[in-house]
A and B are shown apart, each in its own frame.
Chain A
Amino acid sequence: MDTVGEAMAVIAEEAERQGFQVRQTRSAMWHFRKGSDNWIFAPRSTLDVVDALSMLISAGLDWK
């Protein structure tokens, strides 16, 4: 797994622990769900990972 994939796997694990529903829909595509909100990330760079994380934090993910 590349760095982007590894980072997303860590985020997915923590999000799942905090009650998000997480599914890896393809090898490089991640589906996060909480209530009516659905996010699907296809990150290609570290900037995309940071973007994904900041969106999840805005949605209530506790990341410290």
Chain B
Amino acid sequence: MTTWRAELHYRTTDIDPAQVADHLAESAAVVHYHSEDHVLRLRAGLDGHDLAAATAAACHWADDVDAVLAAGGVTASPIRLTVEDAAAGPLRWAAGAHEAAEILGVSTARLRQLDGKEGFPHAVLELAGGKVYHADEIETWRRTRPVDRGGRPRKTSPDE
């Protein structure tokens, strides 16, 4: 039996997260509420033999939560339900300059030189804090890159 984790997101109006958590004490191990974007995130552990069983259990859980929220007078619309193996860990697709340089085994200064060279992965985002790359693309480039000997280009003699 695998342990799964389900996460349910709702868009809400202003709520008192402590009061909502009180209603959901039996249904959710984690309640997160961001009071500016009004998104309520609920998390619960589920058991299931496989993903299909876990997904079915997550749908039942979502129905139960809907009923509890409605009974508590909470106005909330579900916007997302995700199910993952509890051992899956966080998604780590994004790599900033530091992480990308680490994957390549180079300094961030060298990464800046490589960025923009033909064949080097394009950044997927450019933020004020720097570029964000897809970690898989950086890893693929590392495995397939041409050998880089570093240093100055060699001088060629006229007869070469």
Contacts and interface: CB of A to CB of B under 8 A. Distances in A.
B59 interface: no
Chain B, interface SS category: mixed
Size band of the A side of the interface? 20 to 34
A39 B18 contact: no
B30 A52 contact: yes
A29 B18 CA distance: 10
Interface residues of B, number: 21
A39 to B, nearest CB: 5
A58 B30 CA distance: 15
Given A25-B22, A31-B21, A41 B29 contact: yes
Contact of B30 (A25, A37, A41, A45): A41
A22 B114 CA distance: 46
Interface of A: 25-26, 29, 31, 36-45, 47-48, 51-52, 54-55, 58
Interface of B: 3, 5, 17-18, 21-22, 25, 28-37, 43, 45, 86, 90
27 contacts: A26-B25, A29-B22, A31-B17, A36-B34, A37-B35, A38-B18, A38-B31, A38-B32, A38-B33, A40-B18, A40-B31, A40-B33, A42-B21, A42-B25, A42-B28, A42-B31, A44-B45, A47-B3, A47-B45, A47-B86, A48-B45, A51-B5, A51-B30, A54-B90, A55-B30, A55-B32, A58-B90
